[in-house]
A = this chain, B = another copy of it.
Amino acid sequence: MTSDETPSTARPAPATRSAFRLFRQLTTRWSDNDVYGHMNNVVHYSLFDTAVNGWLIEEGLLDPARSETIGLVVETGCRYHGELMFPEPVTAGIAVGRLGRSSVRYEIALFGGDKETAAAEGFFIHVYVDRNTRRPVPISDAMRAKFQELAR
């Protein structure tokens, strides 16, 4: 928020679907809604994890039980533009915002139902590390090529 007085106008406009090429379909759960009747702000991060890791697993880029390198999360963030609410389904749009030697920044938007405008936009940064030593390792060429397909 750049201004305490005018939070809605001072912030960048919400993203639309056209800003993304990769989409993942997600479902919401009864427990996502908190006492205020809308999706609790924490759940958005669970959906980010689910969208990105689901894609990595299906692309053969991650085997959570066996991969020798794993992505540790070093920073996350989210801006909330509007409400999401069970039982409405959610679509996640995924892009890669920055790609380093060992790290990747995912940018994810969540769209409720058929809406074109994002209800929330977030990011998370994975640093790839050796599963045992937890020291950074370079992103493999195969993985890098996949990430570049999602680059903005």
Contacts and interface: CB of A to CB of B under 8 A. Distances in A.
B41 A124 contact: yes
A76 B78 contact: yes
A4 B85 CA distance: 33
Interface of A: 1, 3-5, 7, 25-31, 33-37, 40-42, 45-47, 49-50, 53-54, 57-58, 64-65, 70, 72-80, 86-87, 98, 100-103, 105, 124-125, 127, 136
A30 to B, nearest CB: 4
Given A77-B78, A86-B54, A100 B29 contact: no
A27 B77 CA distance: 24
A86 B40 CA distance: 15
